[in-house]
Structure 1
Amino acid sequence: MDKMRKAGRPRSFDPDEALHRALMVFWERGYEGASLALLQEATGLTAPQLYRAFESKERLFERAVRLYQEQYGFAMRSDLPLVEAVGDYLERAADEFTREPGRGCLVSTGLLATGKDAETAAVIVRAERDQALSNLRDRIVGAVEHGELSREIDVPGLARTIGALLQGMSVQARDGADKRELTRIADTARILLSAAAQP
């Protein structure tokens, strides 16, 4: 009977495990650095098996980004005043970006400069970054409405500044910065934001 088995996925194939292994490759290497050979080696699948399971490298990356957000993503706390929430958010980033299994943020640095072959994947992470920026703007608007910040504050500018800090921390983590070094960025941001919040 086994000899009659058609060629296909290995009997032990676990799509969730394969996806997680692919995520680790994308997280370490970025989209364009994650070659088909590396993805095959990580998942234990042949190229045809990989495409049958995940359709394309772009769809595999899209699912990996979704899994990354579910398992490793984090948001700003809504139960703290804005200054404390931003400090906590960046401190969490300092911790998350410097611990295993990956360094930095897949969404921030997994795909920046890109060629035409990666345009679909670029759209995927850009959409995630845009959503994060929108969430930051909403949080700041709420802080203004509750009197935590002046109504003169540049809401879009502040949101982009916090987003840029987060993305910069991801780059520095990829370059080897440790948790202590990144936490200093969070501490400095808290001080600057506290000063800006003073009436």
Structure 2
Amino acid sequence: MIYVKPQPEPSDFDKKVRVKGIAHLKAKGIALNKALPSGTEVTPLWRESLTDLHVAYGGICAYLGMFFERVAGSSVDYFIAKSVSAKDIYEWSNYRLACSTLNSRKREYNTVLDPFYLAPDLFRLQLSTGHIYPNPSLSPHAMRLVELTIETLSLDDALCRDTRARCYQEYVKYKLDNDYFRSKYPFIWLEAYRQGLLLT
């Protein structure tokens, strides 16, 4: 994971999502300043913003730090879960672009660091294997927060490891353009840069 710069909401987001969403909640008698009651179904107006979200964040999954095509499963992760805050269900600032796999892993857990407020140099990557791990120089508290994020999202499982390792291997094998590589795999690029392993 790396820091993700929050992008401004689209000009039509308020009309398409927020206004209709809040009206829907009020019509159902849901208090905006409280958690969404368990089992309550709400209209999925956030789907209206999926294309905008994918474009705004360059198709980069906020948790993997890698590009994914929309056809592979583009989804909205509510960083503040619906079960915690009803008023944030239809808020652009609460949306994180995530591939379907990572979104399903994140769910409603609050043990994941927010990419929008991520300090630099928390995560390290072994490029040859794709192994992700906390920066060894972190304080014990920061170390545990990073470990919990990795554990909750299963960022170091075989699937994630293999994908990261393959992306770097293809970059080297095919001598991919550095700007292209950075635009598609910013976390891997950053680690290759830090380790002095970018192609020149």
TM normalised by structure 1 equals 0.27
Please identify which structure carries the higher helix content.
1
- Greater C-alpha Rg: 1
TM normalised by structure 2 equals 0.27
Please identify which structure carries the higher strand content.
2
